[in-house]
Amino acid sequence: MDKLSLLIWVPVITMIVMAFVNDSKVKWVGAIGAAVQLVQSVLLLFSFFAAREAGDTSEMLFTTDIVWYKYLNIHYATGVDGVSIALILLTSIIVFTGVFASWEIKDRTKEFFITLYMLATGVFGFFISLDLFTMFLFYELAVIPMYLLIGIWGTGPKEYSAMKLTLMLMGASAFLLVGILGIYFNSAPDGGQLTFNFIEISKIDIPASAQYFFFPLTFIGFGVLGALYPFHTWSPDGHASAPTAVSMLHAGVLMKLGGYGALRIAVMLMPEGAQHYQWIFIILATIGAVYGAFGAIWQKDLKFINAYSSVSHLAFILFAALMFNQVAFEGAVLQMISHGLITALFFALIGMIYSRTKTRNINEMGGLMKVMPVLGVAYFIAGFASLGLPGFSAFVAEMTIFVGAFQNEQMFIRVATILVISSIVITAVYVLRAAGTMLMGAIKNKDFELLPDAHWYDKVAVFVLIAVIAGMGLFPNWLATMIYDGLGPMFERFVVN
């Protein structure tokens, strides 16, 4: 068994074990499975560094290539570089903390965790795939469990939200499938074997006419998942209805599939198409960044605030992916990681607060800092991280995006960059407004005075996430360099083209 396939097998085995133990032990199995996966990801990181140290300069490491369906040249092809390793680490951290954040799930625990792990399997599979077809397959595997997770374990208008989310993402998949097939059928312009392997495809030039047609389909297809304005509306409702761990995984990881695909597949395989439509998507991403932030100001529900905040911060990723600049691309990946961690922390905290107060309306809370200092301080830390305070991950990601984007000389892009930067001021407004209303001041509701602070499992989830966010914010260079180098080979070919 190769290193990377283990990343799929561990969650699969965990699911199988879960199916055979009784309900009370399921979450322990989940925790162990997630811990094993986390250790495995860290080991993968070390062996990646060891291989690089040993002078292995191949673009993708630990590759496997098995022909799966030879008539269409579909392979089970896996491999990782600095970019995918970073995202694999992110996913394992979020799955691990997500298990502890769902410790209080009582209803059909077993089914919940199995479905959750199915989602995780899909995400891991997506990040290790080099073959567009299997990648798409894993993508679908990750999206479909969402419907069940929200529809069954959600809150509020959960059927409506689940349906809306699934329909929109399925619609996007249709675009995406056309885009991927378009890439496939143009992958051998000079005749010869067609291929789904995106590393191979990145080495050839897809005819410009095909790029003009298939780029927007692919970019929108991934963009919907990455909350591209105006296709973001599934996300506030979806998050609001989803249970805690699902929100965490969804905003933390699943939405990053969109950014990852938009950058690696849409932009990097079809640079001419990207250049051609750049202006439209830059406008949409800029609107998303500013609009999401303003939208968040007016919300009262904590989950809606965070969902709009995500729309704003995810727009940074798509924005950076359109900059044709290696540093901005690096920033896009850093932002995926950073936003993934921070938003997971937010959703975890919101879930914990909600399970105590039974409300998410900030105006009904107030003075909670006195009652639950640990959760309160953690919420403030999440808020500061989110508004880009130095020392936390978002600062690193945002500054990388801004510095990279600013190297572009076009006035249009400069103006867009400045508008995107302006959104970080608005972020401060809604973050402090929500935290202030909810945590500061006098206790509004007498019933809240006796609420418990964080339990041990809450602390595991919260402390791990804070430690990683701060770690990345304090020592960013190794990660930044790893991602930058990972983007290097493809970027060089892309500039030469």
Partner 1 sequence: MQIDFSYVIWIPAVLLVSFLVVGLFGDKLKPMLSGAIATLAILLGMVLSYTAAFQYFLSKGLVDGTYQTFIPQNWEWLTFYDTLVIKLGVMIDPISIMMLVVVTTISSMVHIYSFGYMKGEKGFERFYAYLSLFSFSMIGLVIATNIFQMYIFWELVGVSSFLLIGFYYTKPSAVAASKKAFIVTRFADFGFLVGILVLSYYTKTFDFQELMSPGNAAITNMTGISFMGMSVLSWALLLIFMGGAGKSAMFPLHIWLPDAMEGPTPVSALIHAATMVVAGVYLVARLFGLYVLHAPDALAIVAGVGAFTSLFAALIAVTQTDIKRVLAFSTMSQIGYMMLALGVSGYVGAEGLGFTASMFHLFTHAMFKALLFLGAGAVIHAVHSNEMGDMGGLRKYLPITHITFLIAALAISGIPPFAGFFSKDEILVAAYASNQLYFWTEWAVAGLTAFYMFRLYFNIFWGTDRDYEHKPHEAPFSMSFALIFLAIMTSIVGFIPFSQYVSPNLVPFTTHIHWNVAIPSIAIGVVGILVAAILYLKPKATADKIANAMPGLYKLSLRKFYIDEIYVWVTHSIIFNSIARPIAWFDKKVVDGSMDGMAWITNKVSDKTKGLQSGQLQQYAFVMIAGVVGLALFILYYLN
CB 334, CB 400: distance < 8 Å: yes
Q: Is 395 in the site for partner 1 (CB under 8 A)?
A: yes
Residues 6+ apart with CB under 8 A from 287: 229, 315
Q: Smallest distance from the beta carbon of 298 to partner 1, in angstroms?
A: 4
Near partner 1 by CB under 8 A, which window of 79-87, 240-248, 349-357, 426-434? 426-434
Single out the residue of 327, 336, 337, 344 in contact with partner 1 (rule: CB under 8 A): 327
Chain centroid to Cα 1, Å, comes to 27
Single out the residue of 5, 63, 64, 422 in contact with partner 1 (rule: CB under 8 A): 422
Neighbours of 30 (CB within 10 A): 31
Residues 6+ apart with CB under 8 A from 71: none
Q: Is 399 in the site for partner 1 (CB under 8 A)?
A: yes
For the residues of 131-172, what is the DSSP string, one character each?
Answer: BHHHHHHHHHHHHHHHHHHHHHH--SSHHHHHHHHHHHHHHH
Chain centroid to Cα 182, Å, comes to 26
Near partner 1 by CB under 8 A, which window of 213-221, 245-253, 267-275, 364-372? 364-372
Residues 6+ apart with CB under 8 A from 144: 166
Q: Smallest distance from the beta carbon of 453 to partner 1, in angstroms?
A: 12
d(C-alpha 96, C-alpha 101), whole Å: 9
Q: Smallest distance from the beta carbon of 442 to partner 1, in angstroms?
A: 6
Q: Is 291 in the site for partner 1 (CB under 8 A)?
A: yes
Single out the residue of 157, 189, 207, 390 in contact with partner 1 (rule: CB under 8 A): 390
d(C-alpha 200, C-alpha 170), whole Å: 27
| Binding map of partner 1 across residues 121-160, x = CB under 8 A, - = no contact | ----------------------------------------
Q: Smallest distance from the beta carbon of 37 to partner 1, in angstroms?
A: 29
Q: Is 402 in the site for partner 1 (CB under 8 A)?
A: yes
Residues 162-181 that bind partner 1 (CB under 8 A): 164, 167-168
Q: Is 230 in the site for partner 1 (CB under 8 A)?
A: yes
Single out the residue of 274, 476, 487, 494 in contact with partner 1 (rule: CB under 8 A): 476
Total residues at interface with partner 1 (CB under 8 A): 51
Beta bridge partners of 182: none
d(C-alpha 362, C-alpha 317), whole Å: 29
Paired tokens of 137 = 């397959």
For the residues of 383-433, what is the DSSP string, one character each?
Answer: HHHHTT-TTSHHHHHHHHHHHHHHT---HHHHHHHHHHHHHHHHHHHHHHH
Q: Smallest distance from the beta carbon of 443 to partner 1, in angstroms?
A: 9
| C-beta closer to partner 1: residue 207 or 390 | 390
* SS3 (DSSP) at 179: helix
- Which helix or strand (DSSP H or E) is residue 279 part of? helix 271-297
| Binding map of partner 1 across residues 102-121, x = CB under 8 A, - = no contact | --------------------
Q: Smallest distance from the beta carbon of 410 to partner 1, in angstroms?
A: 13
| C-beta closer to partner 1: residue 244 or 417 | 417
Q: Name which of 261, 165, 168 is nearest 222 in CA terms.
A: 261
CB 23, CB 109: distance < 8 Å: yes
Q: Is 367 in the site for partner 1 (CB under 8 A)?
A: yes
CB 144, CB 162: distance < 8 Å: no
| C-beta closer to partner 1: residue 214 or 308 | 308
Q: Is 298 in the site for partner 1 (CB under 8 A)?
A: yes
Single out the residue of 294, 354, 444, 451 in contact with partner 1 (rule: CB under 8 A): 294
Q: Is 480 in the site for partner 1 (CB under 8 A)?
A: yes
| C-beta closer to partner 1: residue 125 or 473 | 473
| Residues in contact with partner 1 by the rule CB under 8 A | 164, 167-168, 230, 232-234, 237, 291, 294-295, 297-299, 327, 367, 369-370, 384, 387, 389-391, 395-396, 399-400, 402-404, 406-407, 417-418, 421-422, 424-425, 428-429, 432-433, 436, 439-442, 476-477, 480-481
